[in-house]
Structure 1
């Protein structure tokens, strides 16, 4: 059964409010319990531009028990956000018997055969330069310095790995991409707003890391500087990355390509071109060429027409879309 909304069934103010609620709930849940909250000494010593040693009674974000508790709570919050989208769709839908199906489609829990593997190749293409540097250092799979135990098992099969490369990216993409964009689309938001403005909440959701860095660096003037600069960079980077993932979600109608892109970026980290050139001075030009090819190829591959199909979020001439 298909539905066509001739006018946005949800107001933009409601979409804004729910977006803020999702972001506040996701971040706020990390501080609800003593098991998820971080704790620092009231007078931390050391720092001086470097992370200080952890105190015996302190709770830091990389402590296994903290990670476990936080993964549980953000997983529950993610389910609640999805249920909130279901309630909205059930309320405004003509075919209430199909509300679960509509919710699944709106949240992008689908992957059509038409999409193939193309959307999953965009971020690896962007990282062509860093991957070429890994190749030069024999760090790619099946090369000499690659270790399945160290680079795969020890990386992913750990609490930090589960947070950084599995549940963290999955829950963030579902909440800040699928849930947020589905509501903005129902509110008739333009594509430009959904791509460039909706990720702002995702970027500012990382603001709380500044307090942790300030405490870890000893709460000095240097700690303030490090925390501010790092937090500003993180907000800018995550907002820009969020815009890409928002576009990828809209043009494919699936949450899986953004999740994969998020995981891939977390695994690769921030590109270090200058460091790689210093490490391989005889390959400076080839590293630069690899970076340029990756960035230019990525930009060309982002064109909607290259995807070869349209999703419910990317229908020509339609703002609200249809079921």
Structure 2
């Protein structure tokens, strides 16, 4: 019998790049196309809310931006659905099931894939333990450290809906169109994070205006944008790896939320604050990094349509219905 030929990719690599870029541009652009979502810098601060009206932390702006991001995320998912429909069964339910499956709407095979990223923050977690700031410790406050963080518009944006819409667009949608263009997984890990990193460069405009539109403000904006782009690109590479390894949106989403909560590690500040535990803090940081590297592959292993055989993705798209 002649060998079974894998289905032809419905997208070229150029089309994949253009679609991925259009997802990024539409996501960022939607934050400026909606009138109430645009930032304003000329009004005086509102002392009652302790926030500048029209700034990115203004609840009215946050609500408008989250609405725009939600609408854009749905459109991006619909774009993936259209490509899948052109290569699969004409039935709506059939194509929808496949679209959701390749977009990562499934539980990962192992819960450890959701716990792998926190290992990298073992040092900061230990410092929080020394400060008594972990849940259940004396310095932890439900009202201040939980309710005031998560049950505000800023917290909802930073730790809930912002990460969710970004992972849907920049992980699920971008990586799936790259896969439909036949792009290799290592190239996807390189391309997709760059799209994600560049999507954060627009924050430079906010920084430049907030600091007075001076030469120093421009310098600060450029440096901040370069750092944020580099950081989010590296972070995007890791979350792309998690998505490709697990075929699930949950591991990169939990990693995104956790990293947003923890922020950047501040080992120098922690050692100055707890000088007697300086050596222990350094040791815990190193152990966390070592465990992160050691568990990166085994904890993310599973039946992935992106990481398996070269035609595994296509068998899911045009083959039998996913289980």
Question: Is 1:313 aligned with 2:306?
Answer: yes
**Farther off after superposition, 218-227 or 81-90:** 218-227
Match of 1:239 in 2: 233
What is the CA distance between 1:308 and its match in structure 2?
4.0
1:31-85 CA distance string (max 9 Å, x none): 112201011239x9xxxxxxxx976xx5110001000111111011111111111
RMSD value over aligned CA atoms?
Answer: 1.9
Correspondence list, 1:1-323, <5 A? 5-41=6-42, 59-94=54-89, 96-97=91-92, 98-112=94-108, 115-303=109-297, 305-318=298-311, 320-323=313-316
How far apart are the structure 1 equivalents of 2:301 and 2:23?
33
8 Å contact from structure 1 (residues 5, 320) kept in 2: no
What is the CA distance between 1:222 and its match in structure 2?
1.5
How far apart are the structure 2 equivalents of 1:285 and 1:18?
49
What is the CA distance between 1:306 and its match in structure 2?
4.5
Are residues 163 and 54 of structure 1, via their aligned partners in 2, closer, same or farther at CA, if it must alter by over 3 Å?
closer
Give the TM-score taking structure 2 as reference length.
0.91
How far apart are the structure 2 equivalents of 1:313 and 1:264?
24
Runs of 5+ consecutive residues of structure 1 not aligned to the other structure: 45-52
State the secondary structure of the residue aligned to 2:170.
helix
Runs of 5+ consecutive residues of structure 2 not aligned to the other structure: 45-49, 317-323
1:222-260 CA distance string (max 9 Å, x none): 111211111111000000000000000000000011111
Are residues 307 and 60 of structure 1, via their aligned partners in 2, closer, same or farther at CA, if it must alter by over 3 Å?
closer
Residue-pair matches, total: 307
8 Å contact from structure 2 (residues 122, 288) kept in 1: yes
8 Å contact from structure 1 (residues 122, 298) kept in 2: yes
Give the TM-score taking structure 1 as reference length.
0.91
What is the CA distance between 1:154 and its match in structure 2?
0.8
Are residues 34 and 264 of structure 1, via their aligned partners in 2, closer, same or farther at CA, if it must alter by over 3 Å?
same
**Farther off after superposition, 100-109 or 8-17:** 8-17
How far apart are the structure 2 equivalents of 1:306 and 1:149?
34
